[in-house]
């Protein structure tokens, strides 16, 4: 605890005077990493004019994370600070060019290279603020994130190169220091009324908490890979062969209050995931709305799931998964309350590399996922309340996640027991002299409900723990 307090004091000394602060927002709230003036729409007559007419945006960030585990297990803390710049040209014959990069410093943390002596487990959360491939790296943590050429046609566009993408299956992910980036060809088509089509071919991914770019097969196994269905350690890292990902989504507004979206992700030689989601809004009195949403996701292995040797494959040959969920919410001017449910059937594990993004489930809460599990019942209640006059947003969520027994390896990939999770989130936007600065305090508690058989590996950084996250952002 003494080191933790010292770390906070040290970080404030370094971070506050210069406002070197920022945070990746939840993907449902704001997908872009930078905010600021948008490039002008007018088409420049020269390349030089396009560059001079472009825009520069900045994004600085500070993140303090502290994890308190069960007694006799190691606690962790970390302080990260960093910043980045983004430049996008104005249009030149409908073309635009964009580039952005980000750097991170470890300005005080626990020893993230040292395993917990009781369980033998390494740190899970705090290392994600830095470079998970090199836990001892504290200074040289930087990445070229965006580097693309964009062509605009009426309301549509197409991008080629490195970019930030937000979809149900591949997305920026919830907060650490930097998001997941992708490389490939991506298009958005908006020429048909009430229809938006997006999709493309992806051949590189730079997962959150890394500094390098990897081909699709290489990304599987950078994060911990859990167990095979027979209980042996998964060994698919560096053994998966895939040329790329074909990903597409169609958004169709049948009316102002009824929307459909269909997604399909074909990971060549590994697996296919398809999703159908419907959202219905029913206006009520006093500017209120009753919201209902339903979701269905189907997965199937392709060929041998990435490797003919099933001890080294990602998706077991001939297997698949089916999940569905629902959301019921009441929304008024300044608050929204919802009840959410997810069911992953017992037919197989829901599998998508954690390196690619967070779960698309309605019951998702930051700091835990239900990827890797089958035979899951999850229920989550949430209330959001904002006070516009004070520029404060608050959120309280509680979920119960009924998972298979930790020894049911066929349906429990990561040895995670059933658990209850409670998240409390406060967000404040500064004004006047501190305009551009935002603060967030996220508090998380996870309580054990399932049996762990006295194995601390199934406790540390998983259940019977609480965590605080203090995040300061500055956008310009």
Identify whether the C-beta of residue 162 lies closer than 8 Å to the C-beta of residue 144: yes
pLDDT in tens, 194-214: 999 999 999 999 999 999 999
Percentage of the chain with pLDDT > 70? 91
Separation of alpha carbons 57 and 49, rounded Å:
18
**So what's the pLDDT on residue 22?**
36
| Entry pTM | 0.90
Q: Count other Cβ atoms within 10 Å, centred on residue 148.
A: 21
Identify whether the C-beta of residue 218 lies closer than 8 Å to the C-beta of residue 246: no
Which domain covers residue 425, as residue numbers? 2-475
**So what's the pLDDT on residue 465?**
98
Residues forming beta bridges with residue 297, ordered by sequence position = 275, 323
Q: What is the mean pLDDT of residues 465-470?
A: 98
pLDDT in tens, 19-72: 333 333 343 334 346 665 555 556 778 999 999 999 999 999 999 999 999 999
> If DSSP states are collapsed to H, E and C, what string results for 228-281?
CCCCCECCCCCCCCCCCEEEEEEEEECCCCEEEEEEEEEECCCEEEEEEEEEEE
**Which candidate, 455, 442, 377, 363, places its Cα nearest to that of 415?**
455
Identify whether the C-beta of residue 315 lies closer than 8 Å to the C-beta of residue 220: no
**So what's the pLDDT on residue 36?**
55
pLDDT in tens, 212-252: 999 999 999 999 999 999 999 999 999 999 999 999 999 99
**So what's the pLDDT on residue 175?**
83
Residue 32, CA atoms < 13 Å, CB-side half-sphere: 12
Separation of alpha carbons 376 and 404, rounded Å:
7
Q: Residue 8 above 60 pLDDT?
A: no
**So what's the pLDDT on residue 44?**
79
pLDDT in tens, 72-129: 999 999 999 999 999 999 999 999 999 999 999 999 999 999 999 999 999 999 999 9
pLDDT in tens, 358-392: 999 999 999 999 999 999 999 999 999 999 989 99
Q: Residue 13 above 80 pLDDT?
A: no
List the structure tokens of 2: 């003494």
Q: Tell me if residue 219 falls in helix, strand or coil.
A: helix
Length of the chain: 476
The more confident residue out of 457 and 17 is 457
Q: Residue 15 above 50 pLDDT?
A: no
For all residues of the chain together, what is the average pLDDT? 92
| 33 CB-near residues (< 8 Å, 6+ apart) | 24, 59, 84, 86, 100, 145, 164, 172, 179
pLDDT in tens, 318-365: 999 999 999 999 999 999 999 999 999 999 999 999 999 999 999 999
Burial track 241-275 (b if 16+ CB lie within 10 A, e otherwise): bbebbbbbbebeeeeeeebebebbbbbbbbbbbeb
CA dihedral 308, 310, 315, 319 (to 10 degrees): 100
Q: Residue 399 above 70 pLDDT?
A: yes
Q: Quote the number of domains for the chain.
A: 1
Separation of alpha carbons 313 and 143, rounded Å:
30
Chain position carrying tokens 């520029």: 391
Identify whether the C-beta of residue 88 lies closer than 8 Å to the C-beta of residue 97: yes
pLDDT tier, 176 (very low <50, low <70, confident <90, very high otherwise):
very high
pLDDT tier, 16 (very low <50, low <70, confident <90, very high otherwise):
very low
The more confident residue out of 439 and 30 is 439
**Which candidate, 323, 324, 325, 301, places its Cα nearest to that of 314?**
301
Residue 441, CA atoms < 13 Å, CB-side half-sphere: 4
CATH number of the CATH domain containing 441: 2.40.160.10
Separation of alpha carbons 89 and 150, rounded Å:
10
CA distances for 191 relative to 91, 153, 155, 248, 262, angstroms: 20, 9, 6, 16, 18
**So what's the pLDDT on residue 35?**
67
pLDDT tier, 3 (very low <50, low <70, confident <90, very high otherwise):
very low
Q: Tell me if residue 410 falls in helix, strand or coil.
A: coil
């Amino acid at each position: 605890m003494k080191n933790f307090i010292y770390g906070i004091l040290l970080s404030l000394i370094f971070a506050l005077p210069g406002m070197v602060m920022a945070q990746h927002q939840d993907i449902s709230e704001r997908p872009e990493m930078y905010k600021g003036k948008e490039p002008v729409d007018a088409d420049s007559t020269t390349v030089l004019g396009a560059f001079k007419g472009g825009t520069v945006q900045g994004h600085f960030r500070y993140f303090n994370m502290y994890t308190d585990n069960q007694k006799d297990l190691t606690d962790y803390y970390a302080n990260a600070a960093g910043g980045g710049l983004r430049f996008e040209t104005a249009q030149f014959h409908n073309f635009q060019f964009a580039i952005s990069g980000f750097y991170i410093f470890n300005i005080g943390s626990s020893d993230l290279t040292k395993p917990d002596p009781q369980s033998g487990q390494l740190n899970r959360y705090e290392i994600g603020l830095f470079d998970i491939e090199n836990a001892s790296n504290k200074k040289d943590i930087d990445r070229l994130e965006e580097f693309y050429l964009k062509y605009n046609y009426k309301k549509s566009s197409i991008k080629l190169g490195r970019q930030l993408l937000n979809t149900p299956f591949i997305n920026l992910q919830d907060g650490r220091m930097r998001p997941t980036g992708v490389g490939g060809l991506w298009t958005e088509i908006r020429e048909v009324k009430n229809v938006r089509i997006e999709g493309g071919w992806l051949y590189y991914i730079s997962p959150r908490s890394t500094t390098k770019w990897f081909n699709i097969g290489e990304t599987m196994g950078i994060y911990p890979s859990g167990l095979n269905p027979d209980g042996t350690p998964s060994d698919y890292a560096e053994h998966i062969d895939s040329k790329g990902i074909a990903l597409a989504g169609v958004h169709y507004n049948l009316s102002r209050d009824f929307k459909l979206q269909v997604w399909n992700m074909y990971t060549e030689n590994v697996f296919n995931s398809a999703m159908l989601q419907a959202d219905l809004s029913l206006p009520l009195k006093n500017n209120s709305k009753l919201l209902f949403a339903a979701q269905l996701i189907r997965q199937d292995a392709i060929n041998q799931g990435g490797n003919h040797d099933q001890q080294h494959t990602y998706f077991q040959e001939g297997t698949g998964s089916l999940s569905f969920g629902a959301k019921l919410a009441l929304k008024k001017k300044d608050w929204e309350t919802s009840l959410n449910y997810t069911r992953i059937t017992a037919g197989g594990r829901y599998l998508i590399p954690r390196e690619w993004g967070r779960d698309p489930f309605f019951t998702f809460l930051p700091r835990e996922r239900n990827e890797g599990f089958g035979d899951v019942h999850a229920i989550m209640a949430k209330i959001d309340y904002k006070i516009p006059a004070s520029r404060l947003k608050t959120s309280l969520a509680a979920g119960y996640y009924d998972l298979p027994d930790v020894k049911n390896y066929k349906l429990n990939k990561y040895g995670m027991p059933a658990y209850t999770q409670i998240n409390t989130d406060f967000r404040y936007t500064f004004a006047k002299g501190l305009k551009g600065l935002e603060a967030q305090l996220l508090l998380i508690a996870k309580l054990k409900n399932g049996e762990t058989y006295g194995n601390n590996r199934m406790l540390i950084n998983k259940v019977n723990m609480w965590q605080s996250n203090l995040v300061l952002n500055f956008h310009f």
